Amino acid sequence: MFLGLEWYWWLVIVIVFVVMLPLKIKFMKWWGRRGQEKRNHQRGKWGEEE
C-alpha cells in the first residue's frame, strides 16, 4: 500500500483528522475569546478605558 501502510491505517488517520478538525476550530475560537476577555478585564482594572 501507499507509504507501507495498510488501507485500514489510512482509514484510521482520516477519521482522526475528521474528528480533530472541528475540535481544533472550537478550541481556537474559545482561546481567542478568553484572551480578549483577559485583555478587557486588565484594561478596565486600571481605569484605562478607551
Rounded to the nearest 5°, which phi and psi values hold at 47? 75, 25
pLDDT the model gives residue 1:
66
Distance CA 11, CA 7 (A): 6
Q: Give residues with Cβ within 8 angstroms of 43, minimum separation 6.
A: 49, 50
pLDDT the model gives residue 44:
56
Distance CA 47, CA 1 (A): 64
Model pTM score: 0.56
Grid cell of 38 as nine digits: 483577559
Q: Give residues with Cβ within 8 angstroms of 2, minimum separation 6.
A: 10
The string of pLDDT tens digits covering residues 14-49 is 999 999 999 999 999 999 999 888 888 776 555 555
